[in-house]
Amino acid sequence: MTHRFPALIAAPAPARGRLWLTGARLFDGTGAPLRPDTAILVEDGVVRRVADDRERCPDGARPVDLGQRVLMPGLTDAHTHASGRVPHTAKGAEAPLPGVDAHFLQAELRDYLRHGVTTIRVCGSQGLLPQQARQAMRYGAFRGPRLLTCGKIISATAPGGRFYGDMYREADGPDDVRRAVREQVRDGADFVKVMTTGARSNELEDPDPLQLTEPELAAITGEAHRLGYRVAAHAEGLDGCAAAIRHGVDTIEHGMYLHRRPDLLAAMAAAGQFLVPTLSGYYWMAGLGEAVDPAAARHEALDPEAPHADPGMPPVLTELARHNLAEGAASMRAAHQAGVKIALGSDVSLATGLEIQRMVRHGLTPGQALAAATSAAAAALGLDEHVGTVAEGKLADLIVVDGDPLAEPHLLSEPARIWLVLQQGAPVAGQALTSPAP
């Protein structure tokens, strides 16, 4: 059963007219090699034709020569927490005013487009901030990525409710959790997220045991699926992963110990469930900053003159994150080998390009990591009919980059190399819009 994604309903109007993008090297999002000498006809915000660039420009189309740059689908980050984080103010400085967080969220969403990210799935934020930002984008206040939200995360009554505030909807018993699902749908959710285990980003929760009872989890997944909504499960410990897989959730978020249970990976592959490894979340909690090689980063951390990326967490959680990074990377590799579909999710704001590099560093090929950030991520969200590949009939959410991302995955972390970003055919970001013509 399908449902009406609020994220699609809230999309800005597509660009009108015809655009003939020629002189492209095409990465189509499937992981296939680059296709040279390609032209794309975009009409009213939709890809109408993928052609040979030796063809004549269609009547009424405006030609744009991409100069042999790489054209590819806009990136999708399937696990973010975009929330407009307000900086801590100095003692004696004016305290943040109510509502200022919305302005920081707007700035963050604008930056996603500058990094070539055209779709994000917000897996937890404060209150109605994502819905408010999405409505503002719909009515033209600013441009940002297509934004899917879970509303509030459904959790059993647990310590996480103290740590994460209005991000959670605590519920107990089958009737209450069923009501919690309906509340998120009422508030404009695109999918449902559930905490099957605690979150080790706080010191009072543990990845084991299963945080919900079996009847509660069955009620959540059953009600969400009955209404046509996908379910994402925060699942760290193996009991939570096993229960989430058994009850048919659509995506396993984190799942860092899954390599220890080949039977669970086989079950995921057979059911078509996705793993979202979120390596960058562990990097951040481990204090590794923007590093790609964790061993090199730890060596640099011994240098007293080197800048440090302190996450501000208790040492026990920082050490645990380093352990979980190794475990999560092993699970990503094992999942790929078992045929589990892998979708990119960074778990950290504006780290989609870094997550691609880290997925490559920990065992995927560049083509596989780029597919995880395009076609696989779109499929995990249920949006593969609309985005994720460059194909006829898909929305023209496209990016054009300087260089070959299959040879240089790091270029997707460099806004200076994002030459053009199209959102439903409308130019919305990129150096082509901000740099003067030579």
Residues in Cβ contact with 369 at an 8 Å cutoff, skipping those fewer than 6 apart? 344, 356, 357, 359, 360, 409
411 three-class SS? helix
- Give counts: helices (H), strands (E), the chain: 15, 18
Report pLDDT for 105. Answer: 96
Whole-angstrom CA distances from 24 to 28, 147, 206 are 11, 28, 49
Which tens digits make up the pLDDT trace of 319-376? 999 999 999 999 999 999 999 999 999 999 999 999 999 999 999 999 999 999 999 9
> What confidence score (pLDDT) does residue 309 get?
73
Q: Is 173 helix (H, G, I), strand (E, B) or coil?
A: coil
Looking at residue 1, its pLDDT comes to 47
Mean pLDDT of 229-254: 98
Q: Which helix (H) or strand (E) holds 377?
A: helix 375-381
pLDDT tens profile 264-280: 999 999 999 999 999 99
Rounded mean pLDDT, 175-187? 98
Please, which residues bridge with residue 238 across strands? none
Exposed/middle/buried for residue 62 (C-beta within 10 Å: 0-12, 13-18, 19+) = exposed
pLDDT tops 60 at residue 304: no
Contacts of 303 (CB under 8 A, 6+ apart): none
Collapsed DSSP state (helix, strand, coil) of residue 35: strand
d(CA 325, CA 272): 25
Phi, psi (deg, nearest 5) at residue 129: -55, -45
Which regions of 347-417 does DSSP assign to beta strands (E)? Answer: 398-401
Residue 303 has pLDDT above 70, yes or no: no
For residue 418, what is the DSSP state?
E
The model's pLDDT over 45-91, given as tens digits with 9 standing for 90+, comes to 999 999 999 999 999 999 999 999 999 999 999 999 998 888 888 98
pTM for this one? 0.95
pLDDT tier, 165 (very low <50, low <70, confident <90, very high otherwise): confident
What is the average pLDDT score of the chain?
94
Residue found under tokens 């059963």: 1
Three-state DSSP class for 188? Answer: coil
In eight-state DSSP terms, residue 395 is B
Q: State the pLDDT at residue 310.
A: 82
- Give exposure, 194-218, as e/b (b: 16+ Cβ within 10 Å): bbbbbbbbbeebebeebbbeeebbb
Greatest Cα pair distance in the chain: 65
pLDDT tens, residue by residue, 124-143:
999 999 999 999 999 999 99
- pLDDT, tens digit, for every residue of 370-421? 999 999 999 999 999 999 999 999 999 999 999 999 999 999 999 999 999 9
